[in-house]
Structure 1
Amino acid sequence: MSAEPATKKAKTDNGNSDEPKADYDAETQKALEEIDACQNEIDSLNEKASEEILKVEQKYNKLRKPYFEQRNELIKKIPNFWVTAFVNHPQISAILDEEEEECLHYLTKVEVEEFDDIKSGYRIKLFFDDNPFFENDVLVKEFFLGSAEPASTSTEIKWKDGMDLAKKNQDQDAKAGKKRSAPGGPPRTFFSWFGDNSDASADDIAEVIKDDMWPNPLQYFLVPDVDVGENGLEGDEDGDSDDEVEDPEGEDFDDGDGEDDGENDENA
């Protein structure tokens, strides 16, 4: 009969002298100490790598900045560039109402600025021409992520009389019984997102703008129109089934049963 395997005990060292420690033989104890020393070296290198990576990111943020500024100047030459890009983005368009889309026709420039140390946060700046919706010429949403409790702030939108789109959409959705967000949460629209600072650490729209839209908005401005069917897939214009495949000489054959159609005709 084989011997029962020895019970392994995890080594604990949490500063509590009352906590029992596992007993190891001298060879195992020596190996554990050497592993711990190796781990300390790895951790030290990881910290140095993080510091160097941060310096590289800061360096390239500075190098990219003039190109972002040049890109924004060129974008100004294209009417409705930003509203088109926003409408074409699947996640942003999902929270855009018709009036909000109309308002974004006055959006002339978007900027995303990371804080100097990068890790502590960033700001999103939306620049607007004079418009019938609000008095502001720039709206800023800032994220402070360096503390134990991430936070965000938003510019107070000075809505013109009767044009508060965030409140209007909430009232309309409440009357219609619509829910745009998680159960119990407020209706989700673009401007209600802008003013919502309840959970800065999980702001998916801000992350989309920062990490997807801002790095390359051109891809969303140029995105082709897609014919979306009932199942959310691109529709087949002529309605033909994929089961029939045309061979190189233009003759149709059925690839589903493995039998040649011409041979079946002769046997008919």
Structure 2
Amino acid sequence: PSPQLVSLLHGKLNTLIGKSSGYIENLPEDVKRRIHGLNYYQSEHAKLEAKFQEEILALEKKYLKLYQPYYEKRSKVVRGECEPTEEEIATGASLYELEKSEREKEKQAQEGDPTIEKNKDVQGDPTTDESKEVKGIIEDSCKGIPEFWLTAMKNLVTISDNITERDEEALKHLNDIRISYLENPGFQLEFEFEENKFFSNTLLVKTYYYQEEPGYGGDY
């Protein structure tokens, strides 16, 4: 079973063990003693889980500092404040072609015929309807990468379904998303917008606090 399922079962077991429903009280004494033993095991498991989450948080903070230079470069490119170097562009283009080739192979495998090429020209043809739509939005001489964050979020399955048409209009003006950790267990998300008609403030901040004990799903 997955770690999430195991954690869920452990958490549920813990609540059942501590719950007085008359069931445990009516069990034979030997069985009750075994259940008390399980309760001890669960308490020790909870201590390890808390330590595990603390170490994950420490790693997240460590790597956020390592990620930061790339986040800052990305932000400047998206805003149009700087351009990537020729080396960065060449490497990125190679990665894009590799990913594109992998997607095409995966699609052909799913269709069950590796010789299928009917979509090959369409995917790379700038005259397709989708490409025409994008070209109509983004001009050749545009600054930075227009609607970068809106496009990124619409391609993120976990949140795309929650984005409404009204949200899209506001998110077109989103310049950057940043995360920072709090002294107490928790973090802040900062959403920085260019001036727009939707918000009087260009910086919106959402604060999250971690719960003291891991939840049943292993989250904290």
| Shared fold (TM-score, shorter chain, > 0.5) | no
Which has the higher Rg, Structure 1 or Structure 2? 1
Per the normalisation by structure 2, the TM-score is: 0.43
Higher normalized contact order (CA 8 Å, seq sep 6+, divided by chain length): 2
The structure with the largest helix share of the pair is 2
Per the normalisation by structure 1, the TM-score is: 0.36
